Structure 1
């Protein structure tokens, strides 16, 4: 038996086992981050955090409900589905960027120039100063149908 997970966009399908217990949710969308493989560990973490930070504003259905512990302390909501992190060469990243844009998927970019800025205004100015095909990408995030995201990430491998 399958039941729709009634989110705004219906992005999850929940299978109900014969004993009534819920099987893991399988999402028909994917959130993925692709990092350039030559980044330092601190850069990988920083870039990943920045890249996914805007996703919930353009795709609010990916954000779940707020959390609370047993004592009633409230916590912020998080993504409802996993964020998969991949890595690849500069060429892999450039190709993935082109494929994501050609499919009109929500995409975030992080360029090498952003390591030298310290605020949102300067970050946006640094990206705006460079043409799309000349961006020195070190990371990107993409969200969309699983099969489309898989095609965008062709050639990338899961981050270790």
Structure 2
């Protein structure tokens, strides 16, 4: 049986298209975790198989992943913050840091307009997300 629930909200992760594949996967993973940290209600229930083994929860709704240029990412960030959202971001500098403290310091050292974005993740009402990612294509 397929659950055809239509969610009132949408999750979008926008990843820079000129990154190496491992970097794109890394960015998307970190950003998904950031969204669950910001919106704990995104975490679903724990899973269990028929043998009684327990597994961790997953995000409770689909995630749309879009490809974007550096300019597109800046536009997405601006559109999101103009609408009062608090997106999760990943900058290119974070590929060279090794821990969360250094990650936050790397972002804190750069003004918003100069952030070298590798990815942005947002969660909001469907129509708001649609406006923010307008013009972008889903990642191939």
TM-score (norm 2): 0.95
Task: Give 5+ residue unaligned stretches, structure 2.
Answer: none
1:150 to 108, 130, 135: 130
CA distance in 2, matches of 1:63, 1:106: 18
Residue correspondence of structure 1 range 57-68 to structure 2 within 5 A? 57-68=37-48
Alignment of 1:36 onto 2:16: yes
CA distance in 2, matches of 1:111, 1:145: 25
Other-structure match for 1:117: 97
Residue correspondence of structure 1 range 70-149 to structure 2 within 5 A? 70-149=50-129
How big is each residue's C-alpha offset from its partner over 1:61-83, in whole Å with a ceiling of 9 and x where there is no partner? 21111000001111111111011
Tell me which protein shows more strand as a share of its residues: 1
Q: Rg: which structure is higher?
A: 1
- Work out the number of aligned pairs and report it: 140
| Secondary structure class of the residue paired with 2:89 | strand
How big is each residue's C-alpha offset from its partner over 1:76-114, in whole Å with a ceiling of 9 and x where there is no partner? 111110111001111111101000011122310011100
Does the Cα contact within 8 Å between 1:33 and 1:139 map onto a contact in 2? Answer: yes
- Structure 1's consecutive aligned runs of 4 or more residues displaced over 4 angstroms after TM superposition are none
| Secondary structure class of the residue paired with 1:25 | coil
| Secondary structure class of the residue paired with 2:120 | strand
Displacement after TM superposition at 1:22 (Å):
6.9
Tell me which protein shows more helix as a share of its residues: 2
